[in-house]
Structure 1
Amino acid sequence: MSTLRVPRGEVTGLPAWDRCAVMGVVNVTPDSFSDGGRWFETGVAVKHGLALVAEGADLIDVGGESTRPGATRVDEAEELRRVIPVVRELVREGAVISVDTMRASVAERAVEAGARLVNDVSGGRADPRMVPMVATADVPYVVMHWRGQSIDMNDRAVYTDTVTEVIGELREAVDRAVAGGIAPERIVVDPGLGFAKQAAHDLALVDATARLRRELGRPVLVAASRKRFLGRVLAGDGGETPPARERDAATAAVSALVAREGAWAVRVHEVRASADAVRVARALEGAR
């Protein structure tokens, strides 16, 4: 295994962890690909978020809209109804909260409720009000590589040189965010695993974690948890793809690998194994 080639970086407005951080996922949805419906009720979602913190999550990402391939969008009022009470209660309990949304109105209300990070899978393209809102709120912002809405994103998974093209498109997204007033030191980049990507594209991007950090100059969030490419890897040639909830060991393996390569954070559904994985990666760094 290579030695750590690039620093993780710090994000202004968030704690400075001495290792790859772990972002736990709370999907307040009935239809997310891996756990839709399990945490749909507010009280259950809050309890789950606190359990993830107890298992080692450094921050919790709360989302009210599924972005699985083929998903149609939930309306604004329903997304607000799902997300804001959960954010408010988790903040009250002391959790560091990220809001996973493509809508400026939802992000704004979540920040007012105490969220400290906006995680926008569209990189500011789904809602032209998002970048100005984040700039005004002066909060950290995750810019993800995105080529279009979930309903048809698989049709956009066409690349000649995956890593180079994703870096180029992410650089354009970061430049738009900065031009819109978001401070560079508040920006995190995410290669968008599974979004307009096939398995080979995702694997190439995981392997390029250090390059993403080096060429974009920003901290990198890796969100591999339970995604299709891991199912394909585990199935092997002609095998049956295991369901999403049977991909947690593979997710933890990715967490260890990208932590070793300088990822700022990993976004995961099952926290404990990835929390252990990033701590082992950090111990190996200290042993050099």
Structure 2
Amino acid sequence: MAQCRLYLEPDCLSRQLPPGSRPLAGGPYSFSRCIRALRDERGAVLRESLPLDELGDEAAGVLERLTAPRAPFAGVDMTGPSVMGIVNVTPDSFSDGGERYAAEQAIADGLAMWEAGVAFVDVGGESTRPGAEPVPDEEEKRRVLPVIRELSAAGVRVSIDSYHASVMEAAIEAGAAVINDITALTGDPHSLELVAESGLPVILMHMQGRPQTMQKSPSYEDVALDILDFLEQRIERCLEAGIERERIAVDPGVGFGKTLDHNLELLNRLSVFHTLGCPILLGASRKTFISQLCGKLEPGERVSGTMATLLAGWTRGVQMHRVHDVAQALQTIRVWQAIEGAVER
């Protein structure tokens, strides 16, 4: 008999706390059933929905990671939703066409996002849109470092969106508080050691391929479980390097080497990633799949679709939401939370 790998996916998530239920990652949503998935060495998956008390002893460790409260990430509470504002200091971003390529504009917009209430401002100097070409490290530093210095000096919690170790190192010296790496610390042979020694928190993202190739026929046996396996392997590698789990967040990488069907299934099954025991970052802002669903839309016309993905993520326990449209995201969260908490249960 082939050896099987066990996965747990929360089923029937609710704001209520019925008997026998457990909180999802220590947050406001709970579940009393799980989809237990068993995948054999050939990739075949058997799924069944079971009450928590019927999952069996072999599921105890996975269930504990699924339910345990998350430690603060970079000083930000993870029991409620937080917003990460995007500042692309690039001439060729898919989303804003280079509106913030000038450092002065990037700084002003980053400060405005912070004052509006974001928990992070994510600064990047290389476009990662499909087909984008890499940027030399020195050019990437030229773009991002003035912005990071000014924002961090003003008290902004800055994350550096880069997979180049030399850029990460310079950004840390300039005041960056978080490393956000789309390659999950695989894109540069020096990045893992650098992050371990820095003591800073890191966000590990999944991407199939590289921006130049990632949308050329991406394929998976089971998109959510395949990505979960990859992220678990990267977490283990980080732990071996001395990066504590409390310093790690994960991003399943919506739109990075995924078809429309992959993205939709991934968004629907986001709660399975809580079994990794780390906070989850969702970055689906203005992505192409929204246009694929709703007709030909320019990136700036995809705000409503972005807010729909934000709510889908939050109701599946996602703690951090990376968005371009900060005001709309904060408003969506505040109204949703007010409605959800309007009646004592």
Q: Deviations over 1:115-167 (max 9, x none)?
A: 11100000011101111101100000000012222111112510121111111
Equivalent pair of 1:260/1:281 in contact (CA under 8 Å)? no
| Counterpart for residue 68 of structure 1 | 129
Equivalent pair of 2:78/2:279 in contact (CA under 8 Å)? no
Paired residues in the alignment total 282
1:246 paired to 2:314: no
Secondary structure of 2:155's counterpart equals: coil
1:177 paired to 2:238: yes
Give distance in 1, aligned partners of 2:333 and 2:273. Answer: 19
1:189 paired to 2:250: yes
> Identity across aligned pairs (percent)?
38
1:267 paired to 2:322: yes
Give the 5 Å matches for 1:1-288.
2-3=13-14, 6-7=24-25, 9-16=70-77, 18-155=79-216, 157-213=218-274, 215-235=275-295, 241-284=296-339, 286=341, 287=343, 288=345
Shift of 1:2: 3.7
Equivalent pair of 2:123/2:144 in contact (CA under 8 Å)? yes
Give distance in 2, aligned partners of 1:65 and 1:161. Answer: 30
Shift of 1:18: 4.5
What letter matches 2:253 in structure 1?
G
- Say if 1:156 and 1:112 are closer, same or farther in 2 by CA, change over 3 A: farther
Larger Rg: 2
- Say if 1:163 and 1:18 are closer, same or farther in 2 by CA, change over 3 A: closer
Give distance in 1, aligned partners of 2:76 and 2:277. Answer: 19
| Counterpart for residue 238 of structure 1 | none
Shift of 1:260: 2.0
List structure 1 runs of 4+ shifted beyond 4 angstroms: none
Shift of 1:46: 0.2
Equivalent pair of 1:19/1:282 in contact (CA under 8 Å)? no
What is the alpha-carbon root mean square deviation over aligned residues? 1.6
What letter matches 2:24 in structure 1?
V
Give distance in 1, aligned partners of 2:307 and 2:232. Answer: 28
The structure with higher relative contact order (CA 8 Å, sep 6+) is 1
Which sections of structure 1, spanning at least 5 residues, go unmatched? 236-240
Shift of 1:202: 0.9
Secondary structure of 1:26's counterpart equals: strand
